[in-house]
Every structure is written in structure tokens, then in C-alpha cells.
């Protein structure tokens, strides 16, 4: 664990000497940087003489990618709060009072001669560390992949009891696999640490208790006894929101680029298509219906008309007009949408149901654009659902983000896992007659309203699209 210290005085010197003189068996701390405005401070001088990175401005720490923990030793609460605001999310921070507490515990443990008491105190500190101070998911794993301990944070996310995890293989619990992780796309950080005797880091995809994919940044720190690695402490950080945010940004950039290209192509194709369609229709008028050429001309006209409809879809996709928003009741927009698609659902013997929140706040929306997205999603759901199935609209307000959530779910055939990341791509379609632009247009409209759209699907069971929109005009929350 790489440590940066703010405050280069006597406490810093004590910590430098302490780490030099002791062997750590669970986490191996390494001081890599010291900051102090006084370059003559004793700890600062020692760090400089040891060739560590030293600076008079602790803000230099926040741009580094190799800092795991920042320890504030100045005793200035304002500095500690400033560190908490500016540090990266994956970097931990400890105030000087916490550091002093650990030193006092260490001093007592060294003086205590009773072995059983020392083990008890060490266990207490360990439990506090993994269950209270460390907010990420933590597992202790031995060299044969068996879990020897796991913190409450991870148990809650997995929806498991401690007795159901201790003694089980890590890959069995987190990945539902029968063999250890391997390969370039799914390397095992435990194996890397065992081979190198050094910390390792990678990114994995875990499954939560509902089977949904969660992206994790995983770091393994070797546990050493007499120079031998006997296991690792694995710390996992959930980076799912960051990954989804990056994907949404990439998707939006891709849609904008394709939109500009589509607009140019559509305008260039539209005029010759009109000429082809008009000419074939005129020739057809002058041709006897019994003439074989008459049928060929009719085919040309129909295919040219189909091309024009595709061009129109391209222009709709590329237009990206700014929404004209008004304060509206989203539940009413849903009811209006259901009225428009009810006949199609009835024709297919599909029931449409609702679970709409009574306390949904008014929302600034462009009704026509939002209704276009709802109709598109509803028709897709109806088409994917067998007779006797159900399409459901649900709304609620998320108290944490202040956004409204709209679910459009069905009991249809579902979307194959390999297609989930492609469904919002322009021109991607599994239908023989589809253009593959409907969901791309839907995605663009939701983005322009400052919202996001996500999808979850289980083949054979159904699909649920979730739209998240801000209540106030101009607001945009993280994914």
C-alpha cells in the first residue's frame, strides 16, 4: 500500500522509522511521498535524504496514480477536509487522530507479553479495518483460492451469509465458476500475487444477487509469513457507474458522428430516389397491366418507396432537434401513449398494465419527443411478447438522485446477452424489415433531456428498459 504523508514533522519521522523497523504481514505499507511547507522539518528532511518524493504543496499528491492512502499529520482539520474533497475516489485518507490511535494500539501491543491478548487486539484492529474503515469489498483468500474471511460490505452486496462463503472458492462465490479465473480477458490477481510476491490489480465482472453484471477494480496484497506468501487480501471497488458513464459518453459521441454522416448521405440519396420512383410510376401508367414489365415497374416503385422511408428515418435520427420543454405530468404522457398502442397490443392478445407513482413530480419535457420514445419502446415490447403476455409501465422517484425512473418491461423473448451492448447502435437490428434506428433515436432524445436509458434482459423471460430523467430543466445527474 503506497502512502503519502501531509506534515513532515516529528510524527512523520516516527512513522518513517516505524515502517522501516517492522515487518507487516497483512498490508505492506510503503511511504512514497511527504509534503510540508517547512523544508527543514525532521520528517521532510529524512524523506528527502531517502530519495522519496517531497513537496511543499500536498495538492501535488492528487494527480499521482500510485497513491493508495494519504495520512494527514498536521492536526489541521481544514487540511484534512480539503484532502477528502480533492482526493481520487479510490484513495483512502486518515486524519492525524486516527494515525495516533493506531500508534497507541501498536505501542500497547508491543508491550503486552501475553500472546493471547496480543492476538485478540490484533484481531480487533483487523476487524475494524475491514468492516468499518475500508468501505470497499474485502476478502482474505488463501493460496488454494479458499475464502478465509470476508467483510460485511461484500456480504451485503452478494446477498450471502458469512457461513455460506467461508471455506468456499473465491471464483465460485464472485463469478459462479467451477474453475479459477484465467486468460487475458479475465486474469486472476491472486495468481499474479502468488507468482510475483507483489500487489496486483485488474478489472473483473462480478454478478450480484440478481445476476446483473457489476464491474470491479480488484487489488490483491500478499500476506507474508517468514518471507512466504500464505494468501492475499483482495480489495474490490465497484466501478460500475464509472464504466456506464464512460459507455454513455462514447455512445453519445458515436451517435453524433453517425448522425452528421447520415444527414449528408440522406440528402444526397433523397433526390435520385425521388427521380427513380417518379419515373417508374410514370412508365407504369403508360404500360398495359398485362405486360410483364408492369410488374417489374411496380417492384421498382415499392422498393424506391421503401428506400425513401429509410432515408426519412436517417433524417429523423440526424436531425437531433433541441427539445421544447414544458412542465408536464409524466404519468399522463404514459396514459396517452397506452391509448395509442392499445389496439396493437389487443390485436396481439397482449395486456398492458401500469404501476404509476401517485407522488411523481412535474417534469420539464418535450412531450412529442418523449412520447415518440415511449411509443417506440412499447411497440418493440409488444412485438417481442407472445400472445397472453404482458407489457408494464412503472414510474417512481429516486430519493437519492431526485430523478424520476420509468420502466417499460415485458414478458417477451428477451435480448441475447451478446446483443445488449449493441441495441442502441444505429443500424443494428435483428428484424428483417427494421432499419435499426428506432432505439438510437430514443437514446438521443433521452440524452438531450439530460437523462439516461438502460436495459436489462433475460432471454426467455423478458426485457426492461429504464429511463432516468431529471425533474428540473437543465439538470443532469450521473448515471
Smallest CA-to-CA distance from 252 within 448, 427, 476, 423 is with: 448
Q: Is residue 446 part of a domain?
A: yes
Residues 56 and 6 in one domain: yes
Same domain, 232 and 278: no
273 and 182 assigned to the same domain: no
Query: Helices 330-347 and 367-384 sit at what angle, rounded to 10 degrees?
Result: 30
Of the candidates 409, 310, 301, 297, the one whose C-alpha atom is nearest the C-alpha of residue 352 is 409
Please name the residue ranges forming H helices in 70-159: 77-86, 96-111, 115-128, 152-158
In a domain, 125, yes or no: no
Q: Is residue 79, in this structure, part of any structural domain at all?
A: yes
Give the DSSP letter string of 161-199: -GGGTTTSBHHHHHH--SS---STTS--HHHHHHHHSS-
Using alpha carbons, select from 55, 426, 77 the residue that is nearest to residue 255. 426
The answer as to whether 123 is a domain residue is no
Could you tell me the CATH number of the domain that includes residue 217? 3.30.450.20
Q: How many beta carbons lie within 10 A of that of residue 58, not counting itself?
A: 23
CATH number at residue 425: 3.30.565.10
pLDDT in tens, the chain (479 residues): 899 999 999 889 988 888 887 777 777 889 999 999 999 999 999 999 999 999 999 999 998 999 999 999 988 888 989 999 999 988 998 887 777 766 666 665 555 544 454 444 444 444 544 454 456 788 888 888 898 888 887 888 788 888 888 888 888 887 777 888 877 667 888 888 888 888 888 887 766 665 667 788 888 888 887 778 888 888 888 787 777 777 666 666 666 666 666 666 666 677 788 888 888 888 888 888 888 888 888 888 888 887 777 776 666 665 555 677 888 899 999 999 999 898 889 888 999 999 999 888 988 888 888 888 898 899 989 988 999 999 999 999 988 778 899 999 999 988 888 787 778 776 667 665 555 667 877 887 888 888 888 888 888 889 999 999 988 644 444 33
For residues 330 and 464, state if they share a domain. yes
Residue-level pLDDT at 118: 43
CATH of the domain at 93: 3.40.50.720
Asked if residue 36 belongs to a domain, the reply is yes
Residue 44 belongs to what H/E stretch?
helix 42-49
Residue 374: in which H helix or E strand, if any?
Answer: helix 367-384
The predicted pLDDT at position 117 comes to 45
- Cα separation of 272 and 340, whole Å? 35
Distances (CA, A) of 285 to 49, 293, 358: 96, 11, 59
Picking from 271, 305, 320, the residue at the C-terminal end of a domain is 320
Length of the chain: 479
Asked if residue 128 is part of any domain, the answer here is no
What Å distances lie between residue 359 and 397, 453, 473, CA to CA?
8, 22, 19
pTM of the full structure: 0.44
The b/e string for 108-142 (b: 16+ C-beta within 10 A; e otherwise) is: eeeeeeeeeeeeeeeeebeeebbeeeeebbbbbbe
**370, 386: one domain:** yes
What's the DSSP call for residue 349? T
CATH of the domain at 300: 1.10.287
Residues 438 and 421 in one domain: yes
Rounded Cα distance between 187 and 191, Å, is 8
Residue that finishes a domain, picked among 263, 298, 320: 320
Extract long-range pairs of 206-211: CB within 8 Å, 24+ residues apart. Answer: 206/174, 206/175, 206/236, 207/174, 207/175, 207/176, 208/157, 208/158, 208/159, 209/157, 209/158, 209/159, 209/160, 211/458
Name the domain boundary from 107, 125, 148: 107
CA distance 274 to 9: 81
Distances (CA, A) of 308 to 10, 315, 372: 78, 10, 20
- The reply to whether 256 falls in a domain is yes
**Contacting residues for 101 by C-beta, under 8 A, at least 6 apart:** none
Residue with cell 427521380: 275
State the CB neighbour count (10 A cutoff) for residue 40: 8
222 and 251 share one domain: no
Q: Are residues 401 and 366 located together in one domain of the fold? A: yes
Query: Within a domain: residue 130?
Result: no
Name the residue range of residue 380's domain.
321-479
In a shared domain, residues 347 and 460:
yes
Smallest CA-to-CA distance from 442 within 377, 364, 363 is with 377
Residues 209 and 255 in one domain: no
- pLDDT at res. 433: 57
- Whether the CB-CB separation of 235 and 224 falls below 8 Å is answered with no
Secondary structure tally for the chain: helices H, strands E: 13, 17
Number of domains in the chain: 4
Based on the fold, state whether residues 474 and 339 are members of the same structural domain.
Answer: yes
Cα–Cα distance, 235 to 27 (Å, whole number): 11
Answer yes or no: do 401 and 336 share one domain. yes
Amino acid at each position: 500500500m503506497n502512502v503519502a504523508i501531509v506534515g513532515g514533522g516529528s510524527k512523520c519521522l516516527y512513522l518513517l522509522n516505524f515502517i522501516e523497523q517492522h515487518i507487516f504481514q497483512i498490508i505492506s505499507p510503503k511511504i512514497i511521498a511527504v509534503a510540508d511547507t517547512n523544508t527543514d522539518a525532521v520528517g521532510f528532511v529524512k524523506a528527502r535524504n531517502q530519495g522519496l518524493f517531497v513537496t511543499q504543496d500536498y495538492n501535488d499528491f492528487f494527480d499521482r496514480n500510485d497513491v493508495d492512502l494519504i495520512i494527514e499529520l498536521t492536526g489541521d482539520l481544514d487540511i484534512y477536509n480539503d484532502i477528502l474533497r480533492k482526493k481520487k475516489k479510490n484513495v483512502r485518507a486518515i486524519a492525524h487522530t486516527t494515525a495516533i490511535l493506531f500508534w497507541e494500539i501498536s505501542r500497547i501491543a508491543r508491550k503486552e507479553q501475553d500472546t493471547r491478548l496480543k492476538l485478540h487486539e490484533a484481531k480487533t484492529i483487523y476487524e475494524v479495518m475491514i468492516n468499518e474503515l475500508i468501505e470497499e469489498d474485502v476478502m482474505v483468500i488463501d493460496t488454494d483460492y479458499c475464502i478465509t474471511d470476508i467483510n460485511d460490505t461484500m456480504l451485503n452486496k452478494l446477498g450471502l451469509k458469512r457461513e455460506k462463503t467461508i471455506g468456499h472458492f473465491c471464483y465460485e462465490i464472485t463469478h459462479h465458476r467451477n474453475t479459477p479465473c484465467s486468460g487475458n480477458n479475465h486474469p486472476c490477481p491472486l495468481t499474479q500475487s502468488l507468482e510475483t510476491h507483489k500487489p496486483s490489480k485488474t478489472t473483473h465482472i462480478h454478478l450480484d444477487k440478481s445476476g446483473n453484471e457489476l464491474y470491479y477494480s480488484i487489488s490483491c496484497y500478499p500476506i507474508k509469513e517468514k518471507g512466504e506468501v500464505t494468501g492475499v487480501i483482495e480489495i474490490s471497488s465497484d466501478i460500475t457507474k464509472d464504466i456506464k458513464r464512460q459507455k454513455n459518453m462514447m455512445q453519445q459521441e458515436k451517435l453524433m458522428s453517425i448522425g452528421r454522416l447520415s444527414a449528408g448521405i440522406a440528402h444526397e440519396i433523397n433526390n435520385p430516389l425521388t427521380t427513380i420512383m417518379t419515373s417508374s410510376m410514370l412508365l407504369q401508367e403508360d404500360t398495359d397491366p398485362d405486360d410483364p414489365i408492369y410488374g417489374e415497374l411496380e417492384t421498382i416503385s415499392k422498393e424506391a418507396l421503401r428506400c425513401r422511408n429509410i432515408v426519412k428515418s436517417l433524417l429523423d435520427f440526424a436531425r437531433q432537434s433541441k427539445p421544447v420543454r414544458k412542465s408536464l405530468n409524466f404519468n399522463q404522457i404514459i396514459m396517452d401513449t397506452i391509448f395509442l398502442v392499445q389496439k396493437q397490443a389487443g390485436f396481439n392478445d397482449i395486456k398492458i398494465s401500469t404501476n404509476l407513482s401517485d407522488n411523481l413530480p412535474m417534469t420539464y419535457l418535450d412531450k412529442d419527443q418523449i412520447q415518440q420514445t415511449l411509443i417506440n419502446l412499447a411497440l418493440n415490447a409488444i412485438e417481442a411478447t407472445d400472445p397472453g403476455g404482458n407489457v408494464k409501465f412503472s414510474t417512481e422517484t429516486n430519493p437519492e438522485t431526485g430523478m424520476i425512473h420509468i420502466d417499460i418491461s415485458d414478458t417477451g423473448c428477451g435480448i441475447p446477452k451478446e446483443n445488449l451492448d449493441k441495441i442502441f447502435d444505429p443500424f443494428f437490428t435483428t428484424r428483417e424489415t427494421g432499419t435499426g434506428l428506432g432505439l438510437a433515436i430514443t437514446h438521443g432524445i433521452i440524452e438531450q433531456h439530460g437523462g439516461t436509458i438502460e436495459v436489462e434482459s433475460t432471454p426467455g423471460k423478458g426485457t426492461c428498459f429504464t429511463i432516468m430523467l431529471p425533474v428540473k430543466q437543465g439538470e443532469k445527474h450521473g448515471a
